[in-house]
Structure 1
């Protein structure tokens, strides 16, 4: 009980209940304005933020109330020697602690873009047809995760491989803290299995890369001159029907200064595909901009073990069943559950790991700045 209450206090302090209540009051005032729905996009943003804030406050109040009830139940059970009441109190406490763990993870998602929608791109890597099939398995895995999490997922572009699977796919996933959660999934995913494409039944190792970026908003102000962009149009490929496959609706957008290429063929309209491709390009450029700004700060901290490495997770189907995250050490033998989108434990562990890395990086940077200041003073 004392540990659970301490965790609740830590969460409440991180959230800042007074600030949260003030935010809810402000959003409620905005939501009640007669002109709210004159701007549909703004209205949806306000109502979404209001709902998320109200839910966060309600969960905090409910868990505090639950802790009070559990403590009362345990005291009564102890006084009367009622083992059933004691067991009920223990079960309720275990459930409440699980809820507190989930709430604690959300407080760790404090990055600038963590609340935003995510754009996830999957690309097949080394491994030939097995890698293409693996990329398609990952696409299904993340679509199932989005479904389980209550997120909205839209496949924006898919490039199919010749024999089986996909070369690449781009998915927009929208929901509260979609980027904050999915950003820890970025990296190289490795699959080890008996290849279904090898008639000799040999074991095959294949790779796929997952890239996750936040979706830009109108307020981000990423200017992209027309002279920096080359736009090519072509007929869409793969499933989609006659209307998609017989018109030049697909768009390939190339950002000349960086060499970034975005393809989009999900929509029937070339204009819609171009707008979607432009939004993703701006997201990528926004990430690059902030990476450049952070480079100097990272250099001050020296060699910090905050790199993701080439392989962040291994999925092994032969000779044993295991999925293991190589950064956090979290693992499970329920491989089918993971493929069906049960990623919460991996994502929570990844968020905690990332928070620890950021804290160590900040401490190292502060130490480096202090050392540099001391040297300057001595000089």
Structure 2
């Protein structure tokens, strides 16, 4: 909040109209959120009237208290509610053959070293106390290195710590795979996806919805005669079915009971008439319907996970969040925060915390 206030104040002391540049989340928070009860227009501010300064100052003070409401930040950043979760780290090579596969390997080793040597910062409690890495999948490149690597990072607040790494990472170096040792550019993508826990809304709803409740079921029974029960008659009550069964016990005519179970919340239904009794067919139908309902809600859960995961990132010019330059000079720069260091070797050996903290501090 102090950072926002300083930007506003610095703008006012300029002699002309000025445009305030804020990160997208902050700008949306200030201008587009009805729940704040403050309608601020930060596009242009005039210094001709000092009353504007007092007005915006009061609004900023009111805003700082409103921002403490976690619902406000969750409204703007829906994934923030997963901050406390563990996460998946998925690293993919871009186009470029051997050089790209090797860059994927280097990125993988960088994150492994960061996780294995991680120590929590003292400034905030909302960081993992420790991290543990679990390898899930490794797809090697055709000429060495990796095409794709996926592993789980286990620990409270692991997603909050690593979510800023999500994006395209660019490497510039003299390629050892080039016969003339020319400088080449390679891309690799990093996806950071929260791992849903048992307490997350999506999982709770999945477990709740998959249960078949009597109030959600419509069970119909119909009698059918003939071999295999080809002729299905009207819906019968259980009493009528038992009566019919007693009549035809010694008859050559077979009575087959068709049971239809309908699940109202999903619209799914199952018909069964493979057994001779209502009870047997009903049990089979409910078992079959249970599997269908499970599949239905599991599909919805997977759709939600894919929505959280977002689109697959493809490394291209202009889409990268960070550049690692090894030749002709060593430099690593984050293009979102402009934070950079000349100690590229240290960064590739896992010294990522300064970049991570700078990114987290740059967002509301």
Flag the structure with higher strand content: 2
**TM-score computed with the length of structure 2 as normaliser:** 0.45
More helix, by proportion:
1
TM-score for the superposition, normalised by structure 1: 0.44
When Rg is computed on C-alpha atoms for both structures, the one with the higher figure is: 2
